[in-house]
Amino acid sequence: MRGSTTLCAMALLLALSATALASNGMNMIGSTTRGSGMAGADVAMEGDCSGAAVNPATMGTLSDHALSVGLSVLHPPIHLKNGMLGPNDLDSEDQYFPIPFVAYSRRLGEDSPWTVGMTVYGQGGLGVKFEDVQTFAGTRDGFESDLQFVRLSPTTAYRVNDHLTVGASLLASYARMKLSLFPNTYTPGMSPGPEDDFAGVDLDDISGLGVAGRAGLLYRVCDQLSIGVTYTSETAMDLGDGDLTMNLGMARATYDADVEDFTFPQEAEIGVAVRPLEGLTVAADARWINWSDAVEDGYAVGRNPNLPLPPEAGTVRVPFNTKWDDQWVFAVGLEYALNERHVLRCGYNYGENPVPDRYATPLFPVTVEEHVTVGYGLTGEDWRFDVAYERSFEISQDNTNPNPMENPFGPDATITAEAGQVIHLAVTRWF
């Protein structure tokens, strides 16, 4: 059996729920602690090994040999309210999500123009969990999602001359998903046959790999001005080897599951770093993210059910009923060195929500648009400790779309991403 409404809703969760933890669409606003303290305005900032996660050309411009280890912890509170098919007025479960970071780089000889390195970092992630939700079927059930998206990035940078450095990274990505939507609920539809039945879904242990590339350059115009540019190619993820379980009322059918056309978008970014005064750096970045070609038609597919089902139910094909818009993200950050040991940072980041209202559902939180950040760095003889704090502003999104295939929670669902917070910590050691 197949519940079309439920499966379309599940597809939305599958494709979009990464926004639960992310900030610029599915992206974190910054990949490093230093950059996060400046709200992500770091593509033109000279850096150590951790710079490879942002602009590969910045790797090694501040040191010849370095190791950095970091951790980010996210807390994204979400609120759901709907009346027509609920009613519901409840908060998501409290959750905290750790995202690790490790980077290493080394110059190939004292006078060599080449620096090589390796970075492992979380590109983003998701985590939303609601319990005791009133469903339109009259049951009380829940839904949750969990996505881990990690990148392993071998990187090389080449110093062309005293002004220009170029770099390139291979982005080997790993994603793992666990998603469920009202797994204990089943109700038959109004028309004959299973086409509009509601069948709760549990998608488990979907995982896979994808490969992309990133190229960047850093041009130091003069001591007071640097320009950075990066391009990141699209990442097509090959996700599979999971289970899709459907609640059919009298029994549950478990399928072998995989995902088709799960894609992470191409991006282009440009930034400047200006040093108007000794110790002060002002940075500004603009980033274009091609969500419209990445988050669109795709499918989760279930095959080989463990029960003898009619032929039409032998394969379950779940469309990703989504259409995102492209997104521009703008960030401004300041870094001020009080002295040789102490550095202060702050920043502001804005990225318009790329999810149109008609595709917003309570199955995932809306994308936060505005963030403010502060940061601090403490430098020793051969080490540096960095900390950053990120705060987002509350945003709500209403879906008045009456089409149940696209909005199964009714045309009065309001999803609110309340003020969230992220803490970043990192330690860097020079050798």
Domain boundaries, the chain: 4-430
Residue with tokens 């770091």, as numbered in its chain? 42
Percentage of the chain beyond pLDDT 90 is 43
- pLDDT above 60 for 10: no
- pLDDT above 70 for 77: yes
363-372 pLDDT, tens digit each? 665 578 899 9
**Average pLDDT along the chain:** 84
- pLDDT above 50 for 4: no
For the CA atoms of 352, 15, 178, 244, the dihedral, rounded to the nearest 10 degrees, stands at 160
According to DSSP, residue 25 is labeled: T
Look at the domain 4-430 and name its fold. Answer: Porin (2.40.160)
For residues 61-79, give the mean pLDDT. Answer: 86
pLDDT for the residue 213: 96
For residues 75-89, give the mean pLDDT. Answer: 76
Torsion sign, CA atoms 169, 170, 172, 173: positive
182/132 Cα distance (integer angstroms): 10
**Per-residue burial over 94-110, b = 16 or more CB atoms within 10 Å of its CB, e = otherwise:** ebebebebbbbbbbeee
When pLDDT is cut at 50, 70 and 90, the band that residue 191 belongs to is low
Percentage of the chain beyond pLDDT 70 is 87
pTM: 0.86
Q: Which of 194-203, 217-226, 227-236, 358-367 has the lowest mean pLDDT?
A: 358-367
Question: Which residues does 323 contact at the CB level (< 8 Å), separation at least 6?
Answer: 292, 295, 296, 356, 359
DSSP β-bridge partners for residue 416? 79, 396
- pLDDT above 80 for 25: no
